[in-house]
Amino acid sequence: MNYFSLRYLAITGVFVILEILFSMMLLAQPVTIPVMTENNAMVLYANKNGDLGTVFLGPKLTNVAEYDDVAGMYRQGDDYSNILNSAYTPSGSRSLLEPAITVTHWDGNNSLDLRYVSHSQTKVDDNVSVLSILLKDPVYDFEVMLFYKTYYKEDVIEQWSEIKHREKGTVVLHKYASANLHIKAKSYWLNQYHGDWAKEMQPEESRLTHGIKTLDSKLGTRANLFQPSVFMISLDKPATEDEGNVLYGALEYSGNFKIDLEVDYQDNLRIIAGINNYASAYSLKAGETFTTPVFLYTFSSKGKGAASRQLQRWARTYKLLDGHGDRLTLLNNWEATYFDFNENKLAELIKDTKKLGVDLFLLDDGWFANKYPRNDDRAGLGDWQENRRKLPNGISSLVKEAKNNSVKFGIWIEPEMVNPQSELYEKHPGWVIRQPKREEHYFRNQLVLDLANPQVQDFVYNIVDGLFTQNPDLAYIKWDCNAVIYNAHSAYLKNQSHFYIEYMRGLYTVLKKIRAKYPKVPMMLCSGGGGRVDYGALQYFTEFWPSDNTDPLERIFIQWEYSYFYPAISSSNHVTDWGRQPLKYRTDVAMMGKLGFDIVVSKLPASDLRFCQEVIASYKTLKDVIWQGDQYRLSSPWENDVASLMYVNAGQSRGVVFNYLVNSRYGGGSKLPVKLKGLDPKKKYRLKEINLYPDTTSPLESGKSYSGDFLMNVGFNPQVSSARSSVVLQIEEEV
Ligand code: DGJ
């Protein structure tokens, strides 16, 4: 008779004593499980009772044996539950605080206890391994497997959980977190973000007080519109760029998320992160596995800058699609034409693309729909046939035109959405997310299609596949998503509380299928600006659109904040006509990431055009440093007249420094030298001002070289002023 059948007998009351013994599930020895990366350790410990808790999270100790003494050094009062530091807090048994998991068993019972059973480690390669820890309920046949994927050199951990059971009926999961961290410090400083359309990534830093602070989204799609899941926690005091203990966290998920940050009565911080359980109780059948999305975190004892470089390196190597690959510079027509274009106008823009010197022309919104033509944002979404009046010869003639001009062609789609004024809406009302008995409510005049429905998944996949099949030379997709979900209801699903989860599963199924057939075609992740920037989606996309706000002054702040979490190669920055700054300033700002343009090239004065052409040419020689180099934030736009940041290549032989005036008050400028970072103190470097506007000269002494030591300890003054509001410096090792 095995354990579970014995236990069943116990439940029925036959072997009550046996059940009590089993329910104790005692371990012969406590178990210590270190989760190590190059510089940090998270140490888990299962006591003899099998309660798995976190006893340490921070910079690695030299002597591993000393982790056993850590817990004894704290005198923070009683842990009445013995699971205050639980690595995955169950609810309904001993826990007194916010749980990671809450369930109702098949028999209506709401209690759960989880005890350590075993763990194992799998080596993926020299850098990556996966630790799995099995936890079981001693009373119910219910288990959770915790996974910790470590990226040793990058100091990054990805954590997720698998939940399953073999109970007699369905178990309802009311909460099902990806991860449950436990941190000890004197105080905790949360750096979080909020925003709205054109106001993405507004930071706020505050000290966490006792109780729970929640970061969450209930928007369904465009989930980051008001708040993304990325955050930082500084320990003891707010970390700076170069100093302090700081943990970065993010959920790799594009749907509703919830991150609870709870400072408990013992003054420890519990972080519980996962899918938002809002309206999403999940019925799990016996034998089925529920896999949570991944929660990502990285710890640094050297401040925010080091943490972000770790994350950027990790993203390029392991997450962002083609993170070490090439990217296409482009000319987009959104702000240049909006919906007002035709074949001739586009043919001109394609010629302009060539003239400008970028790689690709990107045709934006407005090219499709006939019965309800897409001439503004009120109609046509969902009808993905070329508009015959605007494009009588179809997309293929534009792709050909691009080829004739030796540039590539890309196209905008928003395949998850529908306007009520569309043939799609008329033909397939059942594909639309809405409450059948309630009035529709629109976001940008549109509704969301029900991606929980496999037919809708096929429809969305076929939009992309159809475009590529009919136009094999199509080279780029911009995938937009402009609406949130109101009136969440799927005509397809039986269980509406699965809706938000099934939507995301549907979306990822489609993206996976697209990538199986088109593994590397560059795709931009856009969501009415940056409404959907996360690593759940970015594994299918090569880049993202940070914001529709392209005013360069605003963009400096927005791009600055994104850069803590995402590498420069993934940030699509376009030069547009927003803002009052000169073209040079706008271009210099766009160049700090993946450069693109959205301007009317034909209207550029000759010197502006020449300037753009020269910048694009020099960007080609520097892009490897910007895209693959280490990024250092030198002078923050939030605190200084001048924002400065730089990139250095791995060999510390080449770099580029961007400096922007962000204060237009009288006398604003670079009064002090900017201290560079990341160079070799022993090497000598030559600095040269680049991106000079035609017929202007630089006041900076050209050709003079400085030691890395000098540049990092004294610094270099780029001489930024209102007359020189942006200055780009190229750094080259003197050999
Ligand atoms: C929102 C995007 O962010 C813009 O760049 C543009 O593509 C429009 N949608 C088109 O409708």
Above 50 in pLDDT, residue 323? yes
What percent of the chain clears pLDDT 90, i.e. is strictly above it? 96
Distances (CA, A) of 90 to 22, 95, 112, 132, 584: 18, 7, 6, 18, 57
Amino acid at 434: R
pTM of the model: 0.96
Measured in Å, residue 146 CA sits from the centre of ligand 1 at 39
Active-site amino acid positions: 480, 548
Measured in Å, residue 480 CA sits from the centre of ligand 1 at 7
Quote the tokens at residue 337. Answer: 């034409």
State pLDDT tens for residues 428-457. 999 999 999 999 999 999 999 999 999 999
Above 70 in pLDDT, residue 713? yes
- Is the torsion defined by CA of 488, 491, 497, 502 positive or negative? negative
Measured CA to CA, the distance from residue 699 to residue 718 in angstroms comes to 9
Selection from 568, 563, 512, 562 nearest residue 536 by Cα: 512
Give nearest CA residue, ligand 1 atom 4: 528
Q: CA dihedral defined by 241, 242, 244, 245, rounded to 10 degrees?
A: 80
By the 8 A CB rule, do 482 and 472 touch? no
478 is in an annotated binding site: yes
654 is in an annotated binding site: no
For the chain, the residue count is 735
Q: Please tell me whether residue 546 adopts helix, strand or coil conformation.
A: coil
**Residue 127: HSE in the Cβ half-sphere, 13 Å Cα cutoff:** 9
624 is in an annotated binding site: no
Confidence of residue 702 (pLDDT cuts 50, 70, 90): confident
What is the per-residue DSSP string for 204-269? EEEE--SEEEEEE---SSSTTSS--S-EEEEESS---SSSBEEEEEEEE-SS-EEEEEEE-TTS-E
What is the best residue among 332, 334, 477, 527 to mutate for testing ligand 1's pocket, by most ligand atoms within 8 Å of CB? 334
Above 70 in pLDDT, residue 11? no
3-class SS string, 414-462: CCCEECCCCHHHHHCHHHECCCCCCCCCCECCEEEECCCCHHHHHHHHH
What is the best residue among 199, 374, 480, 532 to mutate for testing ligand 1's pocket, by most ligand atoms within 8 Å of CB? 480
Selection from 282, 234, 279 nearest residue 258 by Cα: 279
Give nearest CA residue, ligand 1 atom 9: 528
Task: Specify the pairing of strand 245-252 against strand 231-235.
Answer: antiparallel
What is the best residue among 364, 525, 558, 599 to mutate for testing ligand 1's pocket, by most ligand atoms within 8 Å of CB? 364
Give nearest CA residue, ligand 1 atom 1: 528
Range scoring the smallest mean pLDDT among 64-78, 186-200, 258-272, 619-633: 64-78
Q: Is 75 exposed, middle or buried (0-12, 13-18, 19+ CB in 10 A)?
A: exposed
State pLDDT tens for residues 592-639. 999 999 999 999 999 999 999 999 999 999 999 999 999 999 999 999
Atom of ligand 1 nearest to the CA of 547: 3
Atom of ligand 1 nearest to the CA of 526: 3
Helix (H) or strand (E) holding 129: strand 128-136
State pLDDT tens for residues 168-191. 999 999 999 999 999 999 999 999
**C-alpha angle 274-277-281 in degrees, rounded to nearest 5:** 130
Measured in Å, residue 414 CA sits from the centre of ligand 1 at 9
Distances (CA, A) of 47 to 36, 72, 129: 20, 14, 24
322 is in an annotated binding site: no
Residue 22 DSSP class: H
Above 80 in pLDDT, residue 17? no
641 is in an annotated binding site: no
Ligand 1 pocket by Cβ (under 6 Å): 334, 364-365, 412, 480, 482, 526, 528-529, 545, 548
627 is in an annotated binding site: no
Give nearest CA residue, ligand 1 atom 6: 334
Measured in Å, residue 444 CA sits from the centre of ligand 1 at 11
Q: Please tell me whether residue 104 adopts helix, strand or coil conformation.
A: strand
Distances (CA, A) of 352 to 95, 473, 605: 65, 19, 13
Beta-ladder partners of 335: none
Measured in Å, residue 617 CA sits from the centre of ligand 1 at 27
What percent of the chain clears pLDDT 70, i.e. is strictly above it? 97
By the 8 A CB rule, do 589 and 555 touch? yes
Domains with residue ranges and CATH for the chain: 3-185+259-298 (2.70.98.60), 330-415+453-482+519-628 (3.20.20.70), 631-733 (2.60.40.1180)
